[in-house]
Chain A
Amino acid sequence: MPRIARTFIKTGLFYFLCALLLGLSIEFPVIHFPAMQPLFWHLLMLGWISQIIFGVSMWMFPGRTREEGFIAQKWAWITYFLLNSGLILRVIAEPMTSYSSQQVWKILLITSAVLQVIAVASYIIELWPRIQSKKQRRKNRRNKTKK
């Protein structure tokens, strides 16, 4: 399994635990802060499920480069960093916008939204050309060996 897939999957497992702990804490009125419900659902669906799908698809889909490193797998790593920085920014900024009217939290929340959309665009750039039939795959391999 390539490093990028391992990183996605381990981060996903971490979010899975965080999401369930947050879900558990919702049951205790003593522990309360704004936006707990949307954060719970997004940690679960984006932090865990989507992240696992991203990691496994980058590993299993045909046409991946065997070379490790940021340059060789730039779109995958960009996806990872933007998705997770966007999600972490959201976890911090969304409750803070309810506590404070400072501009910085608003800017951070907007930044988190933009980062997550760019992350998904990078994931599509990485994966779209790898959705290939067997015929296309063979053709691509032949072209590569010719080069």
Chain B
Amino acid sequence: MPAPSRWMIRCSLIYLLTGFLIGALMLISKVQPTFAWVWALLPIHIEILIFGWIIQFTMGTAYWIFPRFLEDKSRGNITLANNMVMILNSGIIINILTYLHFFSYRFTILGRSLEVLAVILFVILHWKRAVSYRG
């Protein structure tokens, strides 16, 4: 498994646990109103589990498992792949910090833009790898 995949999958597992902990507190708050403050974390729960867990895990696994290039047995430009990992996680973290009111609410535009940029890099990296080498 290549390094970018290992990083993405490890990060996604951390997000998974964090997202579930927040979700569990929200579920408990339905019967224990002392935890009602946790509902302020709903956008973070969604961001973490959709982008941090599901999307990141899928992207990391795809980078590992898609067919490699025949000529040099590589998975394409490794710098581009490392940047994809960093940009995606920066986007997620900026969004989380914005939802926590560390930044102005407009910073989600930056967070989402970084996520879009990461997906563009993902498409560039995988477009030519979506092939069959059988005839």
Using a CB–CB cutoff of 8 Å, the interface residues on chain A facing chain B are 45, 49-50, 53, 57, 60, 62, 90, 94, 97, 105-106, 109-110, 112-114, 116-117, 120-121, 123-124, 127-128, 131-134
Instruction: Give the complex CA separation of A57 and B16 in angstroms.
Output: 14
In whole Å, how far is B124's beta carbon from the nearest beta carbon of chain A? 24
When the two chains form their complex, are residues A128 and B24 in contact, meaning their CB atoms are under 8 A apart? no
CB neighbours of A116 from chain B (8 A): 20, 23-24
A133-B10 CB under 8 A given contacts A60-B65, A97-B30, A110-B28: no
Q: Are A117 and B20 in contact, with the CB atoms below 8 A? A: yes
CB-based A-B contact count at 8 angstroms: 68
Distance A28 CA – B27 CA, assembled complex (angstroms): 26
Determine if B63 is an interface residue (Cβ-Cβ < 8 Å). no
CB B45 to nearest CB in A, in angstroms, measures: 11
Of the listed stretches B1-9, B75-83, B93-101, B127-135, chain A binds B1-9
Closest 10 CB pairs of A and B: A113-B24, A106-B31, A113-B27, A120-B20, A117-B24, A124-B13, A131-B6, A117-B20, A113-B28, A110-B28
Could you jot down 7 A-B contacts, CB within 8 Å? A57-B57, A60-B65, A110-B28, A113-B23, A113-B24, A124-B16, A127-B13
Within the complex, the shortest CB–CB distance from B110 to chain A, in Å, comes to 26
- Interface residue ranges, B against A (CB under 8 Å): 1-3, 6, 9-10, 13, 16-17, 20-21, 23-25, 27-28, 30-32, 49-50, 53-54, 57-58, 61, 65
Query: Do residues B30 and A133 form an inter-chain contact, with CB atoms below 8 A?
Result: no
Q: What are the residues of chain B within 8 A of A128 when measuring CB–CB?
A: 10, 13
- A53 x B2 contact (CB < 8 A): no
B18: nearest chain-A partner, CB-CB? A120
Give chain A residues whose Cβ lies under 8 Å from the Cβ of B27: 90, 94, 109-110, 112-113
The CA-CA distance from A135 to B16 in the complex, in Å, is 27
